[in-house]
Amino acid sequence: MSFTSDQSHVTSLDETAVASYRGVSVLAVLTLILGLASALALAHPFLWVLPPATLVIGWLALRAIGVEGSNLTGRGLALLGMALAMVFGVWAPAQILTRQAKIYAQARVFADEWLELIRAGKLHAAHQLAVMEIERQTPGTDLEKYYQESAAAKSQLQHFYEEKPLKLMAEQGTLATYEYLGGDGISPREQTTEHIALLYLMRYPEDGREREQKIRIVLDRQELVGHREYLWHLRAVNDPNRVE
């Protein structure tokens, strides 16, 4: 009894199976893993590098899979990973920029109100916004009398308006106008407090000419624990062009 024909058939099947076997691309798998990890870009800007790195590796995976005669699979994995990277790559900066715009808008409301106090010559009330909430006088307090009777408060007030450019701002009063130029940075959160810097352009008359002075106003925003409310405090006013 001869088995030659059967053996030949089995051998042919084995060779066909080997020829048709295609392994999964390691780069494609890595692309999917990095695509999922790209969600971490939502946590911190330092991790924004993940989405573009995923796209580069995904492109390399697709290139390797598409080479003529390649025995690799995983195109779907690579495309899925790249899609996730693109979603998170757009979502992460959009989330940060939206939050920044919201904070700058809130900060500007406080800064504009403070500048109006300076322009109106209400220097005592303006200084009150530069002290911590717990140290401020209650609404209705005669601030002029308070600063006259408190040696410590009077000293703080004098020192406050001796600093540049605050001295110039106080002297100019309603003669000065202020144009909002935009946000100048938000510091990393320190527990419940963030520092927000805004830029303004001050215009004022001097020797018959209009002068300009850039102003940086730095505010503290402190979140009330357990609430979605914030306390605002004027941290500093300085010249952004001045080198200390």
In this predicted model, which residue has the larger pLDDT, 22 or 65?
65
- Residue 110 CA to residue 11 CA, distance in Å, equals 83
Place of tokens 């994995």: 77
User: How large is the angle between the packed helices 26-37 and 50-66, nearest 10 degrees?
Assistant: 160
CA-based nearest residue to 235, from 223, 221, 218: 218
User: pLDDT by residue (tens digit) across 4-26?
Assistant: 555 554 444 454 444 455 689 99
Which distant-in-sequence residues (6+ apart) come within 8 Å of 16 by Cβ? none
Reported confidence tier of residue 226, pLDDT bands at 50, 70, 90: low
The full set of domain ranges for the chain reads 4-97, 100-238
User: pLDDT by residue (tens digit) across 69-79?
Assistant: 788 999 999 99
For the segment 34-61, the average pLDDT, to the nearest whole number, is: 94
Fold of 100-238: Nuclear Transport Factor 2; Chain: A, (3.10.450)
CA angle 57, 62, 66 (to 5 degrees): 150
